[in-house]
Structure 1
């Protein structure tokens, strides 16, 4: 996309070089960007925490 001196959404003057390259201002970009990317696989729970409840020791109180 070619650099634009104005926001393509609201028409305001763009001062930041990154906003000009994107063609949209920071406020309009926050309002119109898509849903966040899915979490990486490294953030999933370890298999030891996903075991069935019957395998969890109950201790002397239960």
Structure 2
């Protein structure tokens, strides 16, 4: 067995290998991990172009 057998956040028994390797169960992991950006968010490789003057209509 690798990792720990108890969640380091709540102390519950860890049942699967991924949770043991991570050290947290799925519920505690979901509470502490960073949220995913929305699908429509610009990626780091995209450029943001801004203008200061209005475009003619």
Q: Partner residue of 1:57?
A: 56
Q: SS state of the match for residue 11, structure 2?
A: coil
2:19 aligned with 1:16, yes or no?
Answer: no
* TM-score (ref. length: structure 1): 0.58
Cα distance in 1 between the residues matched to 2:43 and 2:17: 30
RMSD: 2.7
Q: May I ask how many residue pairs the two structures share in their alignment?
A: 52
Higher helix share: 1
Shift of 1:24: 0.6
> 1: distance between equivalents of 2:47 and 2:18?
33
Counterpart of 1:42 in structure 2 is 45
User: CA shift at 1:21, angstroms?
Assistant: 0.5
**What is the TM-score when the length of structure 2 is the normalising length?**
0.61
